[in-house]
Chains A and B, each alone.
Chain A
Amino acid sequence: MNIFIFGLVNSVILALIASGFALVYGVSRLANFAHGALYILVGFATWLFLNRLGINYIGSILLSIIIVSAIGAAIYRLLLIRVKGMPASEIIASLAIGIAIMELFRWRGFISEAYMLPPFVKGSVNIAGVFIDWQRLIIIGVGLGMMLFLWLFTHHTKVGLSLRAIAQDKHASIMSGIEPDRTAVISLAMGSALAGIAAVVILPLGNITVETGYMVLTNAIAVCIIGGLGSWAGVFAGAFLLGFTEILTAALIGPQWQMVVVLLFIILTLILKPSGLLGRQKELEERV
């Protein structure tokens, strides 16, 4: 039961972390390596608004998420738009921004245990003999709510449909009147907002550290590689596979083996099915 509940929490955390990264990649074919930096940026920004400017908790959260969406949009508009279509340059540019943001915080001295966000609801509950704190339950709720929202958004709204269209065929989308740069800006703003939402629900479990940013990026990439880049179902499959594997490894073999097993999974995926568990096969796309 322990393993099930904490595996579930861990999986939802991974899905939340990866969903922003996957959204941006799925729509714009841009690997946003600043994802982890945006995640901790929201953490620190919320902390600053809360403790330095005295804005209430909800206000601080909303403000940080709005700011991070604007930053995400600006990153595309000002920088990535110039290197689009060149994958190596996109990765270098976005990683550079990410490192700049993260190291800026380290340089300004954001490295103490004081940086932490309070949980939304204090205390814990007993579910079938396992004590679990409210914050972890909230994470599950927000995570599942987010997945439902994203599904509805991408299947039933004009903007969502256009995001999926451009991910599948850019020229055909343009012919339907969709403007590719505008959709890319929307996807980066939304992806950044998702990173922000993940940050505010997950960070109360521990301290906000600069290293968290690097870890979040690594985890997001791991989930997407295993699940298959550009596939929603793949993101969830990857998150649950990794999430439970991590918890099982920690419980059965020892926590120090967690990372080893995760890396083994990535290597196995790349050897056996490089497109990921649910990555689409190209042959399906065209029938002439």
Chain B
Amino acid sequence: MLEIKNLMVFYENALALNNVTFTCQEGQITGVFGPNGAGKSTLMYTISGIILDMKKTEVMRGGERITILGEIQFKGEDTTHIKPNERTRKGIVLCPERRRIFPESSTLENLKIGGYLATRQEAKKTLEYVFSLFPALKDLKNREGGFLSGGEQQMLAIGRALMAQPKLLLLDEPLMGLSPAIQSRLVQAIKEINERTGITILITEQYAQPILPIVDHGYVMEKGTIVLAGTAKELTDNPHVKAAYLGA
């Protein structure tokens, strides 16, 4: 479904992604694990196309020069140069790092904005699904986003992404800064989304432990390069992964 070929991203002369090649199989959950600064977020920005908007802003400001090389294929189509909002229309939806919900809009408005491209019927159906997935949001639907707790904001961010009718859902560090109890609830929800709707999911995390059980296929990234790849079981058994990412 998603094929990344020889992707390289430079911020000025710093190499953020170095010859990254990997694939996401349709209907599967793929995990990318790596420490801070490994290039996980750059990878997400590049797949979702947000990096093109960042590049445009930098060019106008006369700031950092961002260079993107390589190819991103989504469903057999080269999407490397397609605008980010067009990619959303094609079904690539990013749920960004640190949630980035709209703080001054209510929970319900956040979800409605997420459904900007959806038809009225799709929006209504998805809204019901989001509320069944995260019942807490239903009770908070008139509360402003900025007043939700971290866990509620993350649920809202995932809900908002679902409203955009994704075919490929990109989750950038969805568990960051949350308590273990909320983490495990979110992991369950992510698994449920994948099973119920068949949406392909690409997920990044620093710490692999909570996510690995639901991942079909995983990659380990360090300093912009993929250093390890394998099924969830292969990664779990790998001594390097055990030491660095599973805390064993």
Contact = CB atoms under 8 A, between A and B. Distances in A.
What is the predominant secondary structure among interface residues of chain A facing chain B? helix
Interface string A217-245: 00000000000000000000000000000
Interface of A: 82-86, 155, 158, 161-162, 164-165, 168-180, 280, 284-288
- The 8 A-B pairs with the shortest beta carbon distances in the complex, nearest first, are A177-B117, A177-B88, A172-B100, A284-B146, A285-B103, A165-B113, A168-B102, A175-B94
Contact of B113 (A82, A161, A170, A287): A161
Given A175-B164, A177-B117, 7 more contacts: A161-B113, A162-B113, A171-B50, A172-B96, A175-B48, A176-B117, A179-B85
Interface of B: 48, 50, 53, 57, 60-61, 83-85, 88-89, 93-96, 98, 100-105, 109, 112-117, 146-150, 153, 160-161, 163-164, 176-177
5 contacts: A162-B113, A164-B109, A169-B101, A286-B98, A288-B98
Nearest to A89: B60
Contacts of B60: 82-86
A161 B96 contact: no
A161 B102 CA distance: 11
Contacts, number: 97
Nearest to B177: A288
A172 B176 CA distance: 18
Nearest to A287: B150
A84 B59 CA distance: 11
Contacts of B164: 175-177
Contacts of A175: 48, 50, 84, 88, 93-96, 161, 164
Contacts of A168: 102-105
